Structures are given as C-alpha cells and as structure tokens.
Amino acid sequence: MSSVPLLIVGGGIGGLATALAAARDGRRVHVIEKSPEFTEIGAGLQLAPNATRMLDRLGVLDDVLRPATFPKNLVMMDAVTGSPITRLDLGHGFRAHYGYPYIVTHRGDLLAAELKACRSNSLITLDSGREAVSFEQHDDAVRVTCADGTSFECEAVVGADGLWSRVRKAVHDDGDPVCAQYVSYRGTVPLRDVPPETDLENMTIWVGPEMHFVQYVIHGGTLLNQVAVFRSHRFTPGYEHLEDWGTPDELETAFAPLCPVVRNAVRYVRRDRRWPMFDRLPISSWTCGRITLLGDAAHPMLQYIAQGACQALEDAVCLGNAFARRQDPREAFLAYQEERIPRTARVQRMARFFGELKHLDGVGRAVRNALLQKRSPDDFEHFDFLYGHTPL
C-alpha cells in the first residue's frame, strides 16, 4: 500500500490540470490512469478564452498555443440552404475584450503540453495502467484499491475519471448518464485532401433539422477536424442497445437533404467509430468527506457549446485556489464546489438549450435565422458569461 496526500483518479485533460494546480500550491500529487498510456481519445477541441485564461494560470499556455490554430471567426451556416446565419469576430476586438484568444487544437496536443509540465514537476507522480475499482473512506483517510491489487491510502481523492466515473458512485450514485438520442461521427482529414470549397480560415458550424456539422483546422494547420452530429430515429433506451442506432446508414440519410457543400464534406468523415451523446442533470453536491469530483465526473454536458474541457480547466484552477486557502482538503473541497456548482449547472443547462436551438426546423428554424442574422459580429454581450469568467 502506498500513502499519498492527494490522489487524482483519471489522467485526462482535467486530471492533469488539477495535478498542476495542486502542485503549484506545493502539494504532492499522485495521478492514476487506467489506460496503459496517458492519451486523449478524439481529435479536435475548441478552447474559448475562459479556458486559455486557465491554461495561462497553470503555466502551459505557450506550449498549447504553439501547435494551435486561431480561427478568424466562429461562423454559423444554414446546412439546408448553404446561406450564412451569423458570425462572431475573433480578431483584435475579441481578444481585447476577453484578454485571451479563442483557439482550436488537437486533444493530443493539449494533453502533451500538460504531460510535459507534469513530468517536469517533482511533486507530481504519473501512474498509468491503474484502474481504481473501490473506495473505502474513513475519518482520516480514503483507501483506493485498483484492479491489479494496488492500493493507496490517501488524505484526499479527486475523481476526474469522466462520464462513466467510478468515483462518482462513491459520492452521489444518481444512476446512469442521460442519452440525448444524438450521435456524433468525427475525425480528421489532411488539408491536401479536403474539398476546394472548404473554409479553412474559420470555425464553421452548419446547423439544420436535428443535425449539425462542424469544421475547423487543427494541428499546426495540417488537419481539418470534422464532426457530424444527428438525431437517431432508431434510438432504443438501454445501454445494451447502444450499437443498434445512430449507424452509418442513418448518417447518410440524415445528411442527404442538405446543401452540396455539407453533403460533399461529410463523405470524408470516418464511419468506423461513433460517439452516442450523453450528459447528466446537475447535482447539489460533488463532495463526500475527503472525496470530490471534477470535469465530466462532476458535470458532464452536451458538446453543443464546446465547454466540456473548458469547464474542467476552470474546475482545476478553482480547486487549486481552494487548496491555497485551506489546509484541510475537506474544507477545500466544500469551498471549491460552492463556487463551481452554480456555474457548471448553468453551463450544463445552456448546452442543452443550444442543442435545441441548433437543431430547429420549420418556423423555429426560420425565426432563429432571422433573429441571428441581425446581430453584429462584434456583439459579445451574450458570450460574457461563458468567456469572461475567472475563478475567485
């Protein structure tokens, strides 16, 4: 059995950010990850100013920016007609307003920057191939046991183990995640192979009835990231039926009525893997004594406003701040969740709302387009809540 002051379960973006935040406060941290290596599944990732601000606080922003791409605008297009709806100018005015840029990057590039910083910090131990399976809490410690028999005696535990978190069940067993009945297919294409009509300067989202399609350039300007999302009308409740709906033939059917640019682009999306979309309803507490939750383990949200990783980074910095103010981890965890739960609950609900807004049809779609076409590209008012946030 190993004795560790702070154990972080999960070595993804949120877990490593938490390790950096705690180590900056002088705490010794042990991170366990069930995969054989510290890796990120997926490709593209959007990081708004609320996330790049956190990366600066963690001391990794320069390394993250190096391979990142800086889109000129966030553009919303009508996927049926091919007509523009609205855009958000991400240029000098945007950066002056928020103090930090909006970037797009590869998930692996972000994790690589965090890994580099963690490996250079003597207070952080990274331990892969360790799957935590049980948690036994006492007044003065938490015993965490792994599938291989390894165990840790911990002063505090942070569960950063994602949507299907085992740690969450030790804190708040609220059942299984909620399926949105939508599925996504995603992947990258070398820039040399993309269709000539592709917009390479902007982050573009094509919205249509019960679907949307996202495109942006990542990885030092070498890859086009594409995400195709649609609602499955074959959806069947129950996790034993996950493979029965949202199939590639449904993808073809969902995108067939759309404009030629989208129909052509979706041909380049890989069909060999799909991601059913889940979230959870907000809960009133993430903490039980010496255990707390972070990122998707605490507040999984739908991807419609690209805030999952951003909120995990905010969590990490906020928790680091709580550690700096309170020596007892139980007090730090309570202060952390008191600050974070109201914000993340609002973001979870906002993500659901924007999913409904993007996927409108009929009169709703016409009204949405008409209203959004009237807004100015440099009107940041409705983004301040998300992008202007700074943890206390």
In this structure, which long-range contacts are made by residues 269-274, counting pairs with CB atoms below 8 Å and at least 24 apart in sequence?
Answer: 269/185, 269/186, 269/187, 269/226, 269/227, 269/228, 270/185, 270/186, 270/187, 271/185, 273/185, 274/183, 274/184, 274/185, 274/246, 274/247, 274/248
Active site residue 185: no
Q: Phi, psi (5° rounding) for residue 338?
A: -65, -35
> Under a CB-based contact definition with an 8 Å cutoff, are residues 263 and 213 in contact?
no
Q: What is the 3-state secondary structure (H, E, C) of 14-29?
A: HHHHHHHHHHHCCCCE
Residue 281 CA to residue 246 CA, distance in Å, equals 23
Query: Within 99-235, where are the H helices?
Result: 107-119, 166-171
Pairing of strands 223-231, 124-128: unpaired
Do the beta carbons of residue 235 and residue 56 sit within 8 Å? no
What token pair was written down for 376?
């100015």
3-state class (DSSP) for residue 70 = coil
Please tell me which residue in 216, 268, 336, 387 is annotated as part of the active site.
216
User: Which two structure tokens, joined as six digits, stand for 262?
Assistant: 């989208």
Instruction: Measure the CA–CA gap between 60 and 298, rounded to whole angstroms.
Output: 24
Q: Which residues are catalytic?
A: 216
